[in-house]
Amino acid sequence: MAESDEPNGVLLEGVVDVARAAELYALLKPLVAEGQGNVSVDLAKVERVDTSAAQIFMAASRSLAARGRKLDLVGANEATSRTLTECGLPQAAE
């Protein structure tokens, strides 16, 4: 996991699960709390996510919405999209 070249962006890869939840939270927290504009999460290199990652995305999405901003989840494969959609993040399927 790393910040991307895009402002307010995060590039994820591999499996994003409970073992990596703290790392994901640490990457997103400053972008949500201190950043400007929308936050983009590039999921193109992610094999799969679990519900702990989805919960972090949901919390970030709610926090951003309260600030008039948006969480953009982009490039998700079918398995990742399905998990995120089932957890209440339908924009992951777009």
pLDDT tens per residue, range 1-21:
555 556 678 999 999 999 999
Q: Residues 76, 11, 38, 26: is their CA dihedral positive or negative?
A: positive
Decide: 43 and 80 in contact? Cβ < 8 Å: yes
Write down the domain spans for the chain: 2-93
Instruction: Express each pLDDT in 32-45 by its tens digit.
Output: 998 789 999 999 99
Phi, psi of 3 (to 5 degrees): -70, 145
The whole-number pLDDT of residue 46 equals 95
CATH 3.30.750.24 describes domain 2-93: yes
Q: Is pLDDT above 70 for 85?
A: yes
Helices and strands: H and E segment counts in the chain: 3, 4
Question: What mean pLDDT, rounded, does the chain reach?
Answer: 89
Q: What does the pLDDT look like over 64-80, one tens digit per residue?
A: 999 999 999 999 999 99
